[in-house]
Chains A and B, each alone.
Chain A
Amino acid sequence: MKFSKKALRSGVAALAFVATAGFASAAHATTTLVETGSSLLYPLFNLWVPDFTAANPGIQVTTTSTGSGAGIAQAAKGLVQIGASDAYVSDSLEKKFPDLLSIPLAISAQSINYNLPGVKSLNLSGPILAGIYSGTITMWNDPAIKAANPGVALPAHVIIPVHRADGSGDTFIFSQYLAASDAAWKAKYKFGTTVSWAPISGEIGAKGNAGMLAAAAANPYSIAYIGISYANKVAAAGLGEAALKNALGAYVLPTPETIQAAANSVVTDTPPDERISMIFSLGPDAYPIVNYEYAIVKSDQPDTTTAAAIQTFLTWALTTGNGATYLDKVHFLPLPAAIVILSKTQIAKVQ
């Protein structure tokens, strides 16, 4: 008994030693990049990482879904190497952390989904949505909604607006769209990853895109804004997708063509730091709620190995990673060629 205990103990010690040695040597051989942030980008990173690490055995990438705000904040503090965000870094934060880069990786859009029994197609506009979310439009058969949908039998039922209860890049894009549509919304609610929502007694705050989907599916007569990467699940849940009035007055659905049209029309306006809103981009077929998905990276990295690894990963994401095999699965679109060049110029700044 005594002997076996001793043997056990030395065995454990030997195992521990081997484990430490193995860990230490692994740490020497590979560079670890930590990514955190946007829950909309998270599924894409999950598709990217296994293929990237297979092609680049020296670099390890871990990825977590925490939210765009956390992605920006933790990248700014240098706690993670890559922050993923649906929103670009704000001017005020840029003043505090001037070395923070916002590098677009792909193009995403947001769908407005509704749960309306018996209604197959629905036209909506920014002012109508601003009215719904600020509590001035409360019924589905409101004159404003009727006017946008001639011939559609709208129920006389209270609208249940669903919004995000957690901080979210989706809320950022959606509220930016409402602020661009409606002066009253812009003055009162502004835009951001969290908004001080209007007091509407029937509203629902849900957690994450998955929570938005569940809330909209469980509540007939509800309306929700959901990232386009959830399109398959939204369709499976039987939710409708609203056509939105764009800058030129046409009602358009979020399809690859309309999202691409929106992205193409802002190419020439995109500044070198690539922080630009794609809301209401001009173009006859452009869908109004489109955005760049960003990697938030500090240009000053603590050492050259890390900087090189970040450059390798982001460059891979813009080339191989922008292929249809990855993006189609999450309904994202690749960056236009001119934007890829801008992004690569920014990546070169990471030292």
Chain B
Amino acid sequence: MKLRPFRLSLLGLSLLIPGALAAVVLFLLIYSGQAIGFNGLHFLYTINWNLGDLYDDPVQVGNVQVPSGANYGILVFIVGTLLSSFIAILIAVPLSMGAAICLAEALPAKIRPVLSMLVELVAVVPSVVFGLWGIAVLIPFIGDYLSPTGNGYGLLATSVVLALMITPIIATTLLDALLQVPKENRESAFALGATHFEVVTKAMMPMVRTTLIGGIVLALGRALGETMAVLMVSGGGINILPTSIFSPVSTIASFIVGQLDSAEADPTNMSIRALAEIALVLFIITLAVNSAAKLLTSGALNVRKRSH
């Protein structure tokens, strides 16, 4: 057999990324192993998170050492992550559908590229900028006009900031697909006497529905993992489940960042292992969301691929 250096090198390169992914998962699994053993299933459905007394002598539990009083329960953070992302999607979907349809149908083709570029630009704004905007503008607004306690930090602020960050993702995906709808479909709908509204809702939207779902899933992926902006506006809820949209929350990603500093000073390393276990949970949630969407819309992302 002939040696094909080009193919071989390509094979190596193409295996690099899945390899890296596998390495990360493997690392998380091995590293959090002790924590998984120590926490058991309580980890997922209890709400008390306590790193324990890092300034006291560690205690022996079974065959592992843990800081005294350490207890790890992450239900609050799972709920915070799912709720904030879900509400963000609820806000972002109508916004981005409106934006995409407006760009594709209502605006003259001349200014479309400029505006769509602006929308795409929003997608690349660093998240810390959204967080700053949240602190400076959104939180005082929520505190002054909406929240009954006057506290602007919490679930609503988090969801609005997330919604702004993911709107361009959904909007650009949808816009690309709308522009791909064959001219014939659109014009024959007009020829049948459909109003502009009917053309969009009856002739065009059904053709791009799967792409829309694909875009929402992409956006959900970003919302679930968003860290910095959330840490700045979420109110860092801990040990308490949200009771209203004004309650402070924490998401998994932001909580890991918030706790990492203290966890590093833990001589037993159990705190960091527990954080690795949360990371594993986040990974599984993201994976589940993505697979569910893939199943729902098998072939959903193909339309998008063609448009590029």
Contact = CB atoms under 8 A, between A and B. Distances in A.
B307 interface: no
B261 A70 contact: yes
A69 interface: yes
Interface in B140-159: 140, 143, 149-153
B139 A190 contact: no
Interface string B229-263: 00110111111100100011010001001111111
Contacts of B152: 218-219
A100 B82 CA distance: 42
B51 A220 contact: no
A167 B260 contact: yes
A196 B49 contact: yes
Contact of A207 (B232, B243, B248): B232
Contacts of A238: none
Interface residues of B, number: 46
Nearest to A197: B238
Contact of B263 (A167, A199, A203): A167
Interface residues of A, number: 46
A297 to B, nearest CB: 16
Interface stretch (B52-60, B160-168, B175-183, B186-194): B52-60
A111 B47 CA distance: 31
Nearest to B235: A204
Most buried by A among B152, B235, B243, B257: B235
Nearest to B76: A199
B20 to A, nearest CB: 23
A201 interface: yes
A284 interface: no
A160 B151 contact: yes
Contact of B265 (A66, A73, A163, A221): A73
7 shortest A-B CB distances, which residue pairs?
Answer: A205-B236, A165-B236, A167-B261, A167-B262, A199-B240, A196-B50, A73-B264
Given A218-B139, A218-B140, 15 more contacts: A69-B262, A74-B264, A91-B55, A91-B56, A92-B55, A165-B236, A167-B259, A192-B53, A192-B54, A196-B239, A199-B238, A204-B236, A207-B232, A215-B153, A219-B152
Interface of A: 66-70, 72-74, 90-93, 95-96, 158, 160, 163, 165-168, 190-194, 196-207, 211, 214-215, 218-222
13 contacts: A73-B265, A92-B58, A158-B149, A190-B56, A191-B53, A194-B262, A196-B48, A197-B238, A199-B239, A201-B247, A203-B237, A206-B235, A219-B152
